Chains A and B, each alone.
Chain A
Amino acid sequence: MADEQVLEARAEEAAASASVHLDPAMAEGNALTQGLEPEHASSPATMLAHSVPDTTVVFGRVIPANIYVVVFGALAILTIIEVILAEILPESVFFRTPLLVVMSLAKAVLVMLYYMHLKEDNKLFAAAIILPLLIGVVSCMFLLAVPSTGYGPGR
């Protein structure tokens, strides 16, 4: 029956939101924490704790460092490349601006995915941040399209 399905869906949703932190692969390291907070120790809330393993899988290869360090490295390298490109590429090269913008967006995405945990957290959070970005970008494009300084000189 339709309403049973709805109930089920709702239950699943509840379970999903509750289990955000319950990834068993991440639960190692809990041993360290047992008993720190006695009033929580007995409750399933203890399971909320998770920590990040010290190896990282990137493109199927295991990298022996933790993901945060890897991401930091990537950010740093991207920034250096960006600065160098900005300095050496002459203004006239057509892909200069798009390239730089894409690189900075890549960095922003890296931070959001890994540092802000959008990768494993609720997808709704991602939606919440993408929607205003879209609206913002669209409205920027519009501002660019209008001769906003009026129709006089300088345009």
Chain B
Amino acid sequence: MATISAPLPGIQVSEEGKLRIGDYLKWSVDHKIIGVQYAVTALFFFIIGGALAMAIRWELLTPALDVAADGTAYNQFFTMHGTVMIFLWIIPMMAGFGNYLVPLMLGAKDMAFPWLNAFAFWLIPPAGVLMILGYFAGQAQAGWTAYPPLSTMFSDGDGQTMWAIAIHLLGASSILGALNFIVTIRNMRPEGMGYFQMPLFVWAMLATSIIIVMATPFLAGGLTLLILDRVAGTAFFNPAQGGDVLLWQNVFWFYSHPAVYIMVLPGFGMLSEVLSVHARKNVFGYRAIALSSMAIALVGFTVWAHHMFTSLTPSLRIPFMVTSMIIAVPTGIKIFSWIGTIWGGKIRFNSAMLFGLGFLSMFVIGGISGVMLAAVPFDLHVHDTYFVVSHFHFVLYGGSVLAIYAGIYHWWPKVTGTLLNESMGKWHFWLTYVSFFFTFFPMHLLGMLGMPRRVAVYAPEFQTLNSIVSFASFVLGISTFILLYNMVYSLIKRKQAGPNPWRALTLEWATSSPPPAHNFHGDPVPYKNPYGYGTEAAYRYLEAQEAELGKSWPNLEEEPARALKPSSSPAGD
């Protein structure tokens, strides 16, 4: 039935179907391997970016210059930190989840273009290496936003050019990956799964991919001009020779505002899965969540100039303030839908769920400070201060990264077949959650008190708050290693998870863990409503699945819901 796809060429799976580490180090067109490759590469860069964050915070422990040799060195720290975190950690990590999960959730055997998929991944390591090699050529130091003239006249090293080329490659990778997702989602759904029966993570990936295809080329165009300015002697961004300096800001934010949704929408998707599964409850407002992603994707193209309130013609400020506030509405819809989802559920407080709830709470703070920043009068005051740094860490760390953590705890059993240690997971959560809050919340205050961002030396009156922030950030840094240790530990311990440890209804669980090379044993039949938990029918479905695939740990003795709800309604209705 369902999807027909080509037999996968070139995958060598040993007799037992077990994958060896070597399989992950070479070219492969299997989406599961590629997904893991993305994730591991991204984690590697997360560690690099994290180390740079520690350097930044160490520098800011005292008002004087102590770690960085000079201001330039500090500029390089935060430039690399920001770029690595965004382009080499969050975006590839989300692509990794997408690669692993989308075909499985659709009951497909692979992505639409397996070869292209591999190609898109293999653009990333060279780009990352290129960016880091810039260190030997005068590292980029113009911030991740690379505004000219900082990135043109005031960056002589070749590092900035290498940086631009690396971002170009990463952008290309991301576009190729995204069009693969769109085609896969549109053409490879199984029979019986319309758009409104898709898991919400798939919806989120669809919206993300549309944004990537439409927005990333703006960045590519801007980078092309930047590279020309740097190497070919043009002056697109130099007003002295007839260029214009705002062009970059416009083009950059045409991309980069939509890009914040590229970074967070997949997280939203993961959150919908995690909350529903572990609250054992139907998602509240399925259609609202699905369509608000699309709304965000479109409205996201109309708000970019809120990053430019201070450089913009004053008459355009109000229109962009209005659109920026409008875009908070679909996000708010999601938040309330998630609260509705967990409301009255039989919540399992395991690590995945804890991180999910952590996301929910912290992202709300980031969202609210975002609306504050969208208000022109307020933004004019806190623009380029630590308030902004605080805001985007609440959405990026509190949002995307916590979502990624939730996703890791949730899908690790599927990917590896083993379980992560729960008590370590809880330690990880609580340490991260608390130290995260104390790292980034005081930055709001610092910003409102007037501490500018991107400075290595600051006024002594900010010392106390900065020390609190720095100490908390060291704890935050260390807490990450609990997760890494947990991963290694679980791979050594090999506590078997079984096919469906969370008793989830989406299709990625309807196969063994890890899934065989062709993903499913036969053609999987999707349950009508991927979130129809707590109903008799869902219970029977899971029972039948267990009979077919074998038992799972923790072998939850779940009661079938007594009240026979009208369970057959598909998710969309």
Contact = CB atoms under 8 A, between A and B. Distances in A.
Indicate whether A and B are direct neighbours in the complex (CB within 8 Å).
yes
B192 A152 contact: no
A142 B244 contact: no
A3 interface: yes
B393 interface: no
A31 interface: no
B186 A145 contact: no
Given A17-B187, A147-B313, A149-B239, A142 B250 contact: yes
Interface stretch (A6-14, A44-52, A58-66, A91-99): A6-14
A14 B250 CA distance: 41
A25 B245 CA distance: 57
A143 B187 contact: no
The secondary-structure label for the interface of chain A is helix
B214 A132 contact: yes
A88 interface: no
Given A7-B191, A10-B194, A146 B250 contact: yes
A139 interface: yes
Given A2-B573, A147-B313, A150-B246, A10 B214 contact: no
A17 B188 CA distance: 12
B462 interface: no
B549 to A, nearest CB: 24
Contacts of A11: 191
B193 A10 contact: yes
Interface in B188-219: 189, 191-194, 196-197, 213-214, 217-218
A127 to B, nearest CB: 11
Contacts of A32: none
Contacts, number: 63
Residue of A11, A145, A146, A147 with most chain B CB atoms under a 10 A cut-off: A146
A9 to B, nearest CB: 6
Contact of B570 (A2, A132, A143, A147): A2
Interface string B242-279: 00111100100010000000000000000000000000
Residue of A1, A7, A9 with most chain B CB atoms under a 10 A cut-off: A7
Contacts of A139: 218, 250, 254, 301
A147 B308 CA distance: 13
Contacts of A3: 528, 568-570
B301 to A, nearest CB: 5
Interface in A1-60: 1-3, 6-7, 9-11, 14, 17
B149 to A, nearest CB: 12
A84 interface: no
B540 to A, nearest CB: 17
A102 interface: no
Contacts of A138: 301-302
Given A139-B254, A149-B239, A6 B312 contact: no
Given A145-B316, A146-B246, A6 B197 contact: yes
Given A3-B570, A6-B196, A9-B194, A152 B246 contact: no
A96 to B, nearest CB: 25
A144 to B, nearest CB: 11
Contacts of A124: 186
Interface string B303-340: 00100000011001000000000000000000000000
Contact of A135 (B214, B244, B570): B214
Interface residues of A, number: 25
Contacts of A149: 239, 244, 246
Contacts of A131: 214
A138 B301 CA distance: 10
B316 A146 contact: yes
B569 A143 contact: no
Nearest to A11: B191
A10 B191 contact: yes
Contact of B194 (A6, A143, A152): A6
A142 B218 CA distance: 14
Interface in A101-155: 124, 131-132, 135, 138-139, 142-143, 145-150, 152
A17 B197 CA distance: 20
Contacts of A146: 246, 250, 312-313, 316
A9 B316 CA distance: 45
Nearest to B197: A6
Contacts of B247: 143, 148
Nearest to B210: A131
Interface in B277-311: 301-302, 305
A149 B191 CA distance: 55
Contacts of B250: 139, 142-143, 146, 148
B248 to A, nearest CB: 10
A10 to B, nearest CB: 5
A2 B569 contact: yes
Contact of A150 (B239, B254, B573): B239
A40 to B, nearest CB: 16
Contacts of B254: 139
Contacts of B186: 124
B221 to A, nearest CB: 10
A135 B568 CA distance: 40
B192 A10 contact: yes
A6 B301 CA distance: 32
Contacts of A150: 239, 244-246
Nearest to B308: A146
Interface of A: 1-3, 6-7, 9-11, 14, 17, 124, 131-132, 135, 138-139, 142-143, 145-150, 152
Q: Which 4 A-B pairs have the closest CB atoms?
A: A148-B244, A149-B244, A6-B194, A148-B246
Given A132-B213, A145-B313, A147-B313, 18 more contacts: A2-B573, A3-B570, A7-B194, A9-B194, A10-B191, A132-B217, A139-B250, A143-B247, A145-B316, A146-B313, A148-B246, A148-B247, A148-B250, A149-B239, A149-B244, A150-B244, A150-B246, A152-B239
25 contacts: A1-B568, A2-B570, A3-B568, A3-B570, A6-B192, A6-B196, A9-B194, A10-B189, A10-B192, A14-B191, A138-B301, A138-B302, A139-B254, A142-B305, A143-B250, A145-B313, A145-B316, A146-B246, A146-B250, A146-B316, A147-B313, A148-B246, A149-B244, A150-B245, A150-B246
